[in-house]
Amino acid sequence: MRLLTHNMLSCNIKGVTNGFPLRIEAEKVVEKQVDFNADFLKNMFPKIEWKALVAAAKSMGYTDLPDQAESSMIDSEEFLKKFHHALLQLHLEEGALICPETGRRFPVNKGIPNMLLHEDEV
Amino acid sequence: MKLKQLESLLGGLQQFPNPKMELEQYPTGPHIASRMLYTAENSFGDVSGKVVADFGCGCGTLGLAAALLDAEHVIGLDIDSQSLEIASLNAEDLELDIDLVQCDIRNLGWRGQTVNTVVMNPPFGTRKKGADMDFLFVALKIASQAVYSLHKTTTRDVSHLF
């Protein structure tokens, strides 16, 4: 699972007011090369929750992203390359996503997070 | 990629060995899948370079078709782990990288309109009435650009939705 997907997922357990972002417990991280697409990254940038991406990248072992980012930074290819790497090239293969409010663990196996809720959580 | 080539690649995918009736599992045929995605891309530019989600992806046919037509990021979502395993194998076979998420569409937590296009062949609602509307509701909520969805003509009355 890429961090682009992680940036969209939240915990929807009954009663939870803010289930985003999910904390990452990374047991196995894999890097896969993807062609660099500057236009895509520039379009994606305003839709991304930056702090969540930085925190997620750190928990996957990637610390090169600046803590804060403004839209003027997308003119820098150096910045875009780091953004590209964090967003699309880092994969969480094994581990878990943790609800920030309840601590509930959603396991990730073979890159697939299991977001199914139990009956009492719906 | 030519339509015939796309159709041929999709035709080679593995499908449900034991479809689950209660989930209305059935494969999306390569003929319709290829034409659906081909039109979405060539007539509307809704696939290449975009974020595409496949709701109720099953064995991954529509999502993989999007990836073959150069979607930048594809997410397949399904409730059934066995289907997702097959989708994963299919992606590997085609040497494509797609994200897969196991979830129930009715209680999926999703942040905003972060997806450009949704493509789907959802349950028609023949087993569980209203299943198709659950899918449509969520798709319309999260897609910023377009939703492509297959439905049964006998379930056409949507007036109760509005």
Contact across the interface for B73 and A88, Cβ inside 8 Å: yes
pLDDT of residue B128: 82
| Band (A4; pLDDT cuts 50, 70, 90) | very high
Residue from A3, A4, A6, A8 whose CB has the most chain B CBs within 10 Å, to mutate: A8
Q: Which residues of B touch A (CB under 8 A)?
A: 49, 51, 72-73, 75, 79, 81, 84, 88, 97, 99-104, 107-115
Instruction: With H, G, I as helix, E, B as strand and everything else as coil, classify residue A32.
Output: coil
Residues 56-95, chain A: which have Cβ within 8 Å of B?
A: 88
d(CA B113, CA B136): 14
Residues in chain A closer than 8 A to B110 (CB atoms)? 8-10
Residue B129 has pLDDT above 80, yes or no: yes
- Looking at the complex, report in whole angstroms how far the Cα of residue B111 sits from the nearest Cα belonging to chain A: 5
pLDDT tens digits, A18-71: 999 999 999 999 999 999 999 999 999 999 999 999 999 999 999 999 999 999
d(CA A47, CA A83): 13
Tokens of B127: 């087993």
The set of residues, in sequence order, having a beta carbon less than 8 Å from that of B110 and lying 6+ positions away, is A8, A9, A10, B138, B141, B142
Out of B88, B107, B111, whose CB is closest to A117?
B107
- Match 């196996």 to its residue by tokens: A109
| Band (B153; pLDDT cuts 50, 70, 90) | confident
What is the average per-residue pLDDT within B98-109?
Answer: 96
> What DSSP designation does A101 have?
T
What is the average per-residue pLDDT within B124-129?
Answer: 84
d(CA A51, CA A67): 7
| Band (B43; pLDDT cuts 50, 70, 90) | very high
Whether A65 contacts A53, CB under 8 Å? yes
| Band (B126; pLDDT cuts 50, 70, 90) | confident
Which one has a higher pLDDT value, B151 or A68?
A: A68
| Band (B134; pLDDT cuts 50, 70, 90) | very high
- Match 């803010």 to its residue by tokens: A18
Contact across the interface for B102 and A117, Cβ inside 8 Å: no
Residue B11, CB-side half-sphere exposure with 13 Å CA sphere: 9
Residues in chain A closer than 8 A to B75 (CB atoms)? 5, 8
Residues in chain B closer than 8 A to A53 (CB atoms)? none
Long-range contacts (CB closer than 8 Å, 24 or more residues apart) made by A80-87: A80/A36, A80/A38, A80/A41, A80/A42, A81/A36, A83/A41, A83/A45, A84/A34, A84/A36, A84/A37, A84/A41, A86/A3, A86/A53, A86/A56, A86/A57, A86/A62, A87/A2, A87/A3, A87/A4, A87/A7, A87/A41, A87/A44, A87/A48, A87/A53
State ipTM. 0.96
Please state which of the ranges A20-34, A101-115, B118-132, B147-161 shows the lowest mean pLDDT: B147-161
Residue B145 has pLDDT above 80, yes or no: yes
pLDDT of residue A54: 98
pTM higher than the cut 0.90: yes
Question: Count of H helices and E strands in chain B?
Answer: 5, 6
pLDDT of residue A120: 93
- Looking at the complex, report in whole angstroms how far the Cα of residue A81 sits from the nearest Cα belonging to chain B: 16
What is the average per-residue pLDDT within B146-161?
Answer: 75
pLDDT of residue B160: 54
The set of residues, in sequence order, having a beta carbon less than 8 Å from that of A72 and lying 6+ positions away, is none
